[in-house]
């Protein structure tokens, strides 16, 4: 099923997982998927490193298992930075053969382990290519606080409009901790004529290292309320876990009350935290 169709029926709840870091942990990875399945997400998306075909193969295998064995709709993340057109065609062919209908088309980030190829300089190039070479539902990333490389919010929205005009049917946001960024972004998007559903990406933050990593990678703002929580509970892991879950739930309650199209939970492959959040929000999502 093309996941963009879901938004016509309901407020969508989706989960994001990443492939296991070591090959030995595949079993425990799939037990995580089993637990996530019990929460009946509308779809699960699987990340992929920007390094090229090896990452894509692993992601494809997992997405295919999620769909064909566990019966949950899946989305493959596909960074284009290290693909050429021939390789991209092969990926599309493999996806089609595996019955995968949904692609989150990304540019990806440069990484010391590879030299970027030039066929897909921006995600919009990959989106046009997918649109011309298959019948996929295309999803794209967006940034309520602007992409790190983009100097202004207006320019970032213009670039997002290219992606939507190129064939994107659905958007998922970068994580954020202050909902006002999301509301302002949604308004800018509407003014720019972007009318596809936008899912809010929410990450429950439950340890300090995770926060430091997120800030350095994504440059997201940490609001005062959030910082007080971290500073108060940083040496008490159990309290920080509870506070992190409560903070994410609070964000989702507010987003739901303000008409969000869907919630995309960055699960960090942690079924316990995902379940705790789900138990607090499942009734809201259906209202």
Contact residues for ligand FAD (CB under 6 A)?
Answer: 47-50, 77, 79, 104, 106-109, 122-124, 141, 147, 149-150, 156, 159, 162-163, 172, 174, 201
Helix (H, G, I), strand (E, B) or coil at 262: strand
d(CA 274, CA 268): 9
DSSP per residue, 167-222:
T--EEEEPP-S-HHHHHHHHHHHHHTT--S-EEEEE----SHHHHHHHHHHH----
Least distance (Å) from ligand FAD to the CB of residue 216?
A: 13
Q: Minimum distance between the CB of residue 107 and ligand FAD, rounded to whole angstroms?
A: 3
Q: Output 198 or 240, the one with its CB closest to ligand FAD.
A: 198
73 a catalytic residue: no
State in angstroms the smallest separation of the CB of 272 from ligand FAD. 22
Structure tokens at 241: 């876990």
Min CB(263)–ligand FAD separation in Å: 12
Taking the least distance from each CB to ligand FAD, the nearer of 26 and 153 is: 153
Q: How far is the CB of 245 from ligand FAD (least distance, A)?
A: 21
Question: Tokens representing 84?
Answer: 């050429």
Taking each helix axis from N to C terminus, what angle separates 271-286 and 26-37, rounded to the nearest 10 degrees? 20
199 strand-pairing partners = 172, 262
* Catalytic hit among 16, 73, 101, 199: 16
The neighbour count for residue 39, using CB atoms within 10 Å, is 18
CA distances from 49 to 3, 4, 32, 198, 281 (A): 22, 24, 20, 23, 30
Residue 283 to residues 17, 249, 277, 286, Cα–Cα distance (Å): 23, 12, 11, 6
CB of 70 or CB of 162, closer to ligand FAD: 162
Give whichever of 159 and 256 is closer to ligand FAD, judged by the CB atom: 159
**DSSP string computed for 69-131:** TT---EEEEEE-TT--HHHHHHHHHHHHHTT--EEEEE-----TT-PPPSS-SSHHHHHHHHH
User: Which residue's structure tokens are 């939970």?
Assistant: 265
Nearer to ligand FAD, 27 or 149 (CB): 149
Nearest CB to ligand FAD, comparing residues 123 and 240:
123
Which residues form the catalytic set?
16
């Amino acid at each position: 099923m093309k996941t963009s169709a879901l938004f016509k029926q309901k407020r969508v709840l989706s989960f994001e997982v990443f492939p296991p870091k070591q090959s030995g942990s595949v079993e425990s990875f799939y037990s995580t998927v089993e637990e996530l399945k019990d929460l009946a997400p509308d779809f699960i998306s699987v990340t992929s490193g920007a390094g090229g075909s090896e990452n894509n193969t692993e992601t494809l295998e997992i997405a295919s298992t999620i769909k064909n064995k566990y019966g949950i709709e899946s989305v493959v993340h596909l960074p284009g930075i290290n693909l050429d057109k021939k390789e991209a065609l092969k990926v599309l062919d493999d996806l089609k053969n595996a019955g995968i209908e949904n692609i989150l088309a990304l540019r990806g980030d440069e990484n010391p382990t590879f030299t970027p190829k030039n066929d897909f300089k921006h995600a919009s190039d990959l989106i046009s290519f997918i649109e011309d070479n298959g019948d996929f539902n295309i999803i794209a990333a967006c940034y309520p606080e602007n992409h790190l490389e983009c100097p202004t919010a207006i320019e970032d929205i213009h670039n997002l409009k290219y992606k939507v005009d190129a064939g994107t049917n659905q958007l998922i946001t970068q994580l954020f901790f202050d909902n006002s960024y999301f509301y302002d972004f949604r308004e800018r998007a509407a003014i720019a004529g972007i009318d596809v559903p936008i899912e809010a990406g929410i990450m429950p933050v439950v340890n300090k290292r995770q926060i430091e990593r997120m800030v350095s990678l994504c440059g997201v703002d940490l609001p005062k309320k959030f910082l007080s929580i971290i500073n108060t509970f940083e040496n008490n892991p159990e309290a920080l876990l509870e506070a992190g879950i409560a903070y994410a739930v609070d964000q989702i309650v507010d987003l739901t009350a303000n008409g969000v199209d869907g919630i995309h939970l960055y699960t960090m492959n942690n079924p316990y935290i995902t379940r705790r959040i789900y138990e607090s929000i499942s009734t809201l999502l259906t209202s």
